[in-house]
Structure 1
Amino acid sequence: MKYMRVWAIALGMCLGISMVCGANNSIEVKKVAPNSPESKPLVLVSVPPLVQIVRAIAGDSVEVQSIVPAEVSPETYEPKPAQAHLFTKALAFVGVGMEYEHVLQERLGARLWEASLESSHAHPLKSTTKSTSKTPKSTTMIYYNLAASQALKPLLTNTAQKAHRESTTPHLDSQVDSHTSTLTHSHEHENHDPHIWLSLDFATINAREIYALLCAILPAHKPLYTRNLAEFLARIESLQQEFASMLASKKGGAFLVIHPAFGYLAREFELEEIALEENGKELGLKALSQLHERLEQKQVRTLFVQPQFDKGRARALADILGLEIDILDPLQEDWEGIMRAFLHKIAKSIPNNN
Structure 2
Amino acid sequence: MKKYIILLLNLLLLAACGSQQQKSQPMTLTVSIEPLRYFTEIIAGDKFQVISMVPEGSNPETYDPTPQQLVTLNKSCAFLRIGYIGFEQAWAEKLQSNAPEVKFFDMSEGIELIREDEVHHGNHSHSGGVEPHVWNSTQNAYIIAENIFHTLCKLDSANISYYKENLAKLESEIERTDREIRAYLQNTTCAFLIYHPALSYFARDYGLEQISIEEGGKEPSPAHLQALIRRCKERHVRVVFVQKEFDSRNAEIIAREAGVKIVSINPLSYKWSEEMIAVAKALSE
Same fold (TM over 0.5): yes
The verdict on how the C-alpha distance between 1:311 and 1:180 changes in structure 2, with shifts beyond 3 A counting, is closer
d(CA) in 2 for partners of 1:102 and 1:271?
29
The verdict on how the C-alpha distance between 1:108 and 1:55 changes in structure 2, with shifts beyond 3 A counting, is closer
Q: Amino acid of the residue matched to residue 231 of structure 1? A: K
Paired residue for 1:170?
Answer: none
1:310 maps to 2:271: no
Paired residue for 2:188?
Answer: 250
- Within a 5 Å distance, the mapping from 1:38-117 to structure 2 comes to 39-96=25-82, 97-108=84-95, 110-112=97-99
Paired residue for 1:217?
Answer: 155
1:186 maps to 2:126: yes
d(CA) in 1 for partners of 2:24 and 2:223?
58
d(CA) in 2 for partners of 1:345 and 1:66?
28
Higher radius of gyration, 1 or 2: 2
- Contact 1:50–1:335, Cα closer than 8 Å, also in 2: no
1:288 maps to 2:225: yes
d(CA) in 2 for partners of 1:185 and 1:38?
43
SS in 1 for 2:244: coil
Shift of 1:246: 2.3
**Deviation digits for residues 144-181 of structure 1 (CA, Å, limit 9, x no counterpart):** 1223x2x22xx11xx32xxx5xxxxxxxxxxxx78699
Paired residue for 2:136?
Answer: 198
The sequence identity of aligned pairs, in percent, is 31
d(CA) in 2 for partners of 1:195 and 1:214?
23
Shift of 1:105: 2.0
d(CA) in 2 for partners of 1:38 and 1:191?
44
d(CA) in 2 for partners of 1:239 and 1:105?
32
Supply the RMSD in Å over aligned alpha carbons.
2.4
Paired residue for 2:196?
Answer: 259
Question: Which structure 1 residue ranges, 5 or more long, are not aligned?
Answer: 1-33, 114-139, 165-176, 349-354
Shift of 1:270: 0.6
SS in 1 for 2:30: strand
Shift of 1:313: 5.2
Question: Which structure 2 residue ranges, 5 or more long, are not aligned?
Answer: 1-19
Paired residue for 1:271?
Answer: 208
Comparing 236-245 with 203-212, greater Cα deviation is found at 236-245
**Matched residues, number:** 263
d(CA) in 2 for partners of 1:87 and 1:287?
43
- Contact 1:45–1:65, Cα closer than 8 Å, also in 2: yes
**Deviation digits for residues 235-255 of structure 1 (CA, Å, limit 9, x no counterpart):** 21222222223212112x111
What TM-score results when the alignment is normalised by the length of structure 1? 0.68
1:143 maps to 2:130: no
